[in-house]
Structure 1
Amino acid sequence: MPRGWPVTLVDAPVRLRPLRRADEVAWMRLRAVNAAWLEPWDATAPEAVTGRRPTFGQFVRTLDRQARTGTSLPFAIEVDGELVGQLTVSGITYGSLYSASIGYWVSEHVAGRGVTPTAVALATDHCFGTLGLHRVEVNIRPENGPSLRVVEKLGFRDEGLRERYLHIQGRWCDHRTFALTAEEVRGGLLDRWHAARSRGV
């Protein structure tokens, strides 16, 4: 079993825990209710996908397999026990890089309440502390105001534009890359986020 999985990370009322097959009904309902909110930012395949789509169970099994090989950490985001989104640490790389990327989505009804910054801070601290990574990045569409606000609140460094970086809703889209290294948050990103919230950020 790779270090750091399975794991549950908590900063009440926010909780990150492994996504489970039992989440299917709540997850599917959440995605359906939030379709207009989420679809403009959803990654797509540049080539048409043929054949049957994977079931939710197959989706979770694939994510779990990646987690067990140490390349990804697929978290469900809960608030007060309610499933409200998903956060995935992906592209975990060691060697001379020791880096990973964080992606996330949350239901519109919890947006702006500090849920996503808390989830990202929890995952980042886990990457730096437990996994021993050196760098964490988040890639965001320049038009995605709510996500830009997340990295701004947390103090991620803007590393510039990646042109035509990801395929989103049928076309290659630019993204801005934001990053932190372990040296920049020696006291922990969650603690820094709590301090920022106490100042009204």
Structure 2
Amino acid sequence: MQFDQVTIVQTTLAAVMQQQQRLAEHLWWGGVVGNSGAEAGLLEQELSLLVAVANGEIERESAGVARYFEIKGVLNDVCSLLWQAPLSVEPVIPAEFWTQPGIGVVCGAVLAWLDADDLITITEAARLLYPDAPLVGSNVATQRVLRLIASGKLREYMANAEVAPNPRHRRRVKRSEVLLLCNISTELDTSNDQE
């Protein structure tokens, strides 16, 4: 197989330049580099919105559908700027980012805000994943869920203080991700039974 050097160089340079242009547009208002005006750049506006959500300044129940999707789009945009490589289709976000001090924790709080209807406690997840938990002990089942979080099979979210005043009870996971794991383990058990 012979590679076309000109095409590969041109398409790669175009992808990198497009990513750089996108970043420049976010850093400076209107894409004008070095704009010293008082108007905030797009990225600054987006980060301010995410911090406002994380600080509880925008209530989920009263936000409305348009505001919800605006915030979701801003979160996706910021995560793409931070983690998407020029030639990739989706950003590759490491699991530890969501608990990283600063922007990671803010983005994690916004994600929890967006997914609030789908979040359950670690104890609830343990009950779903391990229905035999009363037999082996609920603490054992809870530790299993914590291991799933540590291994990256479940993403952890933190509920805000209004939902869970006790910091130890703020840890959450997505019900949909837990149910997916339940289906996977049920399918594995069924296939093992058939063998």
**What is the TM-score of this pair, normalised by structure 1?**
0.24
**What is the TM-score of this pair, normalised by structure 2?**
0.24
| Structure with greater Cα Rg | 2
Q: Which has the higher strand share?
A: 1
Q: Which has the higher helix share?
A: 2
